[in-house]
Structure 1
Amino acid sequence: MMQLLLISNSTMPGEAYLDYPKHEIKKFLGDSVKRALFIPYAAVTFSFDEYEQKVGERFSELGFEIKGIHRYDDPVKAVREAEAIVVGGGNTWQLVRMMHEQNLMPEIKKRVEEGVPYIGWSAGSNVACPYLKTTNDMPIVDPLGFDCCGMIPFQINPHYLDANPEGHGGETREQRIEEFLEANKEIFVAGLREGTMFKLADGKLSLIGSRSCRIFKHGEVPVELTEKDDLTFLMK
């Protein structure tokens, strides 16, 4: 059974880095994992070493060691031997490009299907989807293709916002998702608000957090679902 923890964002206003999801991360990894493989490729304005250190400090508080994939001579082998896989947020386009360059997408999917726990936030949640197409950030590089790991059959829009900031006249996030659905009629999109996450365990998909998520499908009225609802239908 696949085990996924897909987090909308790393940090809430006024909180420390990865503070709000830390207890869920601890429960999710449990006692069997000692070291997690960290993929820092979404970092653009700071180094992979800095990203590894930042994430490693938080995970060490939870009792886990983090080692960045950039430290391995053979990234594919690192994925094949990983106890758990963690993919951080940042620029999704760069993340996807580097994952394609290293041929990591199929290897990660295979390992997760074998039961290796996967944690991602923001861009790291995006790459668990079939496609890159519902990310929010700028295409700063050619991603070498829009296909992602496809560990889940639906798309996530992390950091989902209900309305534009005051004084902004551009499209809302919902309008952007409607554009995606017009061109991709067969797929669900989940607007994952900040402070929330999806957890897939024992074949069941659930929402964690005090805010609802907004579910979109072409030709259907969007619905709001909460942590009381079973979201496993999105996995079909």
Structure 2
Amino acid sequence: MRNIIIASTSTIYNQSYLEYLLPTLQTHFTPGSTIVFIPYARPSGISHDEYTQKVREAFESIQVQVKGLHEFDNPKEAIQQAAGIFTGGGNTFLLVKQLYAHDLISTITEVVQQGTPYLGCSAGSNICGLTMETTNDMPITYPPSFKTFGFVPFNINPHYLDPIEGSTHMGETRETRINEFHTINSQPVVGLREGSWLRVSGDRIILEGTLTARIFEQNKAAYEVEPYTDLSTLK
């Protein structure tokens, strides 16, 4: 049975890295196990080693060991044997390019569909959708395809932001950009706010956390869904 957590972010205001998610991760991953961390997104350009160490320290509190995927001689084999997988945030274009470069898209998809627990945050959650085309990131490099894991039958916009009333900012809002996406693409988009996540258990997709999510469907007005809404019929 699929066991996936798709989180908008790794860190929320006034908390340490992954702090708000750790109670959920205590049961998502098995204490005493070793999970594989995928550091390819490299937020702010930090090294794979630096990023992995940051994750390792966070998981120590729930007795889960972490090893970076870059530390293995055979990344495919590491994924196939992993007790769990975590893909961290950063730049989605770089992340997807590296996943394709190591020929890991199909391997990760296969093991997660077979039940290996998966956690994605930010860029690592963006790639859980059908494509990465609703990322917020700059295209600092060019992946061979925008197609991603497709663990859920829609796209995801992590870190979704609402327009700020009274703001003098004249740039596009997130809603404007997602509406632009829908002039060409038909799949729904889920705007996940900071501190929210989707829990995928088998075929069920449940919004968790304390905030609503904003749903965008082509040729329809955007709408809100409450926490614990089942989104498995959203296609």
Instruction: Indicate whether the TM-score tops 0.5.
Output: yes
Q: Secondary structure at the match of 2:183?
A: helix
Q: Which residue of 2 aligns with 1:181?
A: 182
1:5 aligns with 2:5: yes
1:67-110: CA deviation from partner (whole Å, max 9, x where unpaired) = 00000111111111111110000011100000000011000000
Unaligned residue ranges in structure 1 (runs of 5+): none
Contact 1:164 1:170 in 2 (8 A): no
Moved segments of 4+, more than 3 Å:
none
Contact 1:6 1:197 in 2 (8 A): yes
Distance 2:214 2:123 in 1: 19
Identical aligned residues as a percent:
40
> Which one-letter code corresponds to 1:171 in the other structure?
E
Distance 1:144 1:202 in 2: 30
Task: Kindly report which structure 2 residues correspond to 1:71-150, keeping only aligned pairs within 5 A, or say none.
Answer: 71-150=71-150
Change (3 A) 1:30 1:74: closer
Distance 2:52 2:164 in 1: 33
Stretch moving more, 126-135 or 163-172: 163-172
1:52 aligns with 2:35: no
Q: Secondary structure at the match of 2:214?
A: strand
Distance 2:84 2:113 in 1: 12
Shift of 1:202: 3.6
Distance 2:24 2:11 in 1: 14
Distance 1:101 1:229 in 2: 36
Pairwise CA RMSD of aligned residues? 1.4
1:120-142: CA deviation from partner (whole Å, max 9, x where unpaired) = 00000011111110000100011
Q: Which residue of 2 aligns with 1:39?
A: 38
Contact 1:42 1:89 in 2 (8 A): yes
Q: Which residue of 1 aligns with 2:190?
A: 190
Shift of 1:207: 1.0
Q: Which residue of 1 aligns with 2:61?
A: 61
Distance 1:197 1:230 in 2: 12
User: TM-score w.r.t. structure 2 length?
Assistant: 0.95
Q: Secondary structure at the match of 1:97?
A: helix
Number of equivalences: 233
Distance 2:233 2:189 in 1: 12
